[in-house]
Amino acid sequence: MTPLVLIPGRLSPEAKGVREAAIASGRRYSEAIARSGGVALTVPPLESTLSHIESLVERADAVLLHGGGDLDPTLYGQTQSSDAIYGIVAEHDAVELAIVRAAIAMDKPVLAICRGIQVLNVSLGGTLHQNLVDTIADSDSHWDTYHPVEVNAGSRVAEAMGTLRPTGGHSYHHQSIDRVASDLQVVAHSIDGVIEAVEHRTAKWIVGVQWHPEDDAATDAQQQGLFNALIAATR
């Protein structure tokens, strides 16, 4: 059967072809999943969805967490300390945390991208740097740009991408992992020390990357490899 990949959607004020507020997910994620032989299913981030999370995740073959606005800092035990924080939506936080926790409990394959890696870390008790400008000298080197990434040999990320030094990878974030959850291990860094990828220590295949592989996956086999590995892990 065709693998079904659950993607938490986004509340959006508008969408083309829709007369009212919409529920959306990025097209490139679904296209990358389709190239890997799967089908994406967008789940509405509504309060009513929370009572169905376990059933939804149980029926899915895998989960993909995608990019977006920031998590509410109270979810990792902090108060807001940066004016750069943006896009907090309580429904997004609640549904995504519930989905990833259910996926971990059921040992479903998970690919967590950008905001997704941060959701994964927070779901397991980790924390975030609220703004990279307070952590590294050149925070602009991670905003809408490409930069080198060093991947650990023997990691799932290295196996999926077929390289220890990806040639691409669109970086578009102002936050990053600070304290790593105990169930996760770091498997990639940027040259300035920012954590770029993590993996669950005991799960079958749970991977988080801080960059956006979907942006280049159509033309970059290394980036597409992450989606291929997610789908392969369902079989």
Decide if 212 is catalytic.
yes
What is the tens place of the pLDDT at every residue in 15-60? 888 888 999 999 999 999 999 999 999 999 999 999 999 999 999 9
List the CATH number of the domain containing 190.
3.40.50.880
Of residues 114, 142, 173, 199, which has the active-site annotation? 114
Strand 62-65, strand 110-113: pairing: parallel
Number of separate domains in the chain = 1
Q: pTM for this structure?
A: 0.96
What is the tens place of the pLDDT at every residue in 119-155? 999 999 999 999 998 888 776 789 999 999 999 999 9
Give the tokens for residue 223: 């980036």
Of residues 66, 129, 142, 212, which has the active-site annotation? 212
Decide if 14 is catalytic.
no
- 66 lies in which domain range? 4-232
Decide if 129 is catalytic.
no
In whole angstroms, give the CA distance from residue 163 to residue 167. 9
Question: Is residue 191 within 8 Å of 147, Cβ to Cβ?
Answer: yes
Give the tokens for residue 145: 């740009």
